[in-house]
A = this chain, B = another copy of it.
Amino acid sequence: MTNDRTDGTSDAGVAGFLFDLDGTLVDSVYQHVLSWHDALCAEGIELSVWRIHRRIGMSGGLFTNALLRETDVEMSEERRKRLRDAHAAAYQGRHAALVRGLPGARALLDYLTAKRVPWAIATSGRMESASVTVSKLGLDAQKIPIVTRDQVRYAKPDPDLFLAAAARLSIDVRNSIVVGDSVWDLLAARRAGALGVGLLSGGYGQDELERAGAYRVYEDPKDLLKHLDEVGVRR
């Protein structure tokens, strides 16, 4: 027996982990939801908060298309930009200060690093906001593998972010675990050919995540860390 595997998996049994960021490693979903609500109110667009929650984690383009469909409002490129800017201003100005890392997030990443299991972050956010968000975990975006919306053509539920993250780690995405809190992460994982693991920490129901293809669902990173053997990481 040898530890060299021909299928591209590491000693730990999986090629690596590709993490979503907001709602998966950092407890920021509800703050983003209300920041979008603030921005939409400022544009005079009435949309129920739960409907925004159910769309969070999509690419900005698909997100505004989905809003368009649900509200029947005009969505010019100029208005899209105003919405994005108002969301960023509300998030930074009103909501970001109380955003925290999720329980076990940093411990999980540190454990994988110690076990030499490669990991990367793949987020629908842009680098400007993602670097602030990873700082909540005590991490420097310049020093970790992270793929942001600005670096790929299409965001989730397209698979591009996870494909690019696997390429960054030089691992086969088909032997990778994608970890995310939203149905968009899990749909993108399936399109990428990866195994999707869902976390409840973004506020979605277990059933929604399972229906979107989650192989397993855990509460949060701390709960996933406790059950890593279930997803193929050997102790």
Contact = CB atoms under 8 A, between A and B. Distances in A.
A33 B27 CA distance: 13
Nearest to A33: B30
A208 B207 CA distance: 8
Nearest to A52: B30
Interface string A187-203: 00000000000001111
Interface stretch (A41-49, A115-123, A169-177): A41-49
A98 to B, nearest CB: 5
A41 B200 contact: no
A26 to B, nearest CB: 11
A29 interface: yes
B205 A205 contact: yes
Contacts of A202: 50
A49 B206 contact: no
A179 to B, nearest CB: 15
Contacts of A48: 27, 102-103, 201, 220
Contacts of A38: 98
Interface of A: 27, 29-31, 33-34, 37-38, 41, 46, 48-50, 53, 94-95, 98, 100, 102-103, 200-208, 220
Given A30-B53, A98-B38, A203 B206 contact: no
A49 B205 contact: no
Contacts of A34: 30-31, 34, 95
Given A31-B34, A48-B103, A48-B201, 4 more contacts: A31-B49, A53-B203, A204-B205, A205-B208
Contacts of A100: 46
Nearest to A98: B41
Nearest to A46: B100
A206 B210 CA distance: 13
Nearest to A38: B98
9 contacts: A29-B50, A30-B30, A34-B95, A37-B98, A41-B98, A46-B100, A50-B202, A50-B203, A94-B94
